[in-house]
Amino acid sequence: MEIERITPILTVEDLATATTEHTGLLGMRVVMDMGWIAFLADGAGHQIGLMTTDATASVNPDVSIFVDDVEAAHAAAVAADVEIVHPLSTEEWGVRRFFYRDSSGRVINVGSHT
């Protein structure tokens, strides 16, 4: 399994305001906006996520890690006996993902594009 991308995700109250703030201050551009989550990036591909409330999960993740094999990542999480807080699911926007809670209480979104 290889990591393809790691992106921090900030929970925000107002997505439009947060997007305007971060694009204006940091010179980033919006690369995805689904109304409840937006990803901003610079020209080198560095990203940050902004989220109000996750559309299908009961908790917002703190970071998003995309891998080439989400099934292997899920199997490793189950074998490690970590708390799975969002089950392995195929989302309608073309992502297969699950969330786990690490030993510090952070919620990690692990996914792959389908």
Task: For residue 29, give every residue at least 6 positions away whose Cβ sits within 8 Å of its Cβ, in sequence order, or none.
Answer: 23, 40, 41, 42
pTM: 0.91
Q: What string of pLDDT tens digits covers the 114 residues of the chain?
A: 899 999 999 999 999 999 999 999 999 999 999 999 999 999 998 999 999 999 999 999 999 999 999 999 999 999 999 999 999 999 998 999 999 999 999 999 999 998
Angle at 28 between CA 38 and CA 99, to 5 degrees: 35
Q: Is 42 helix (H, G, I), strand (E, B) or coil?
A: coil
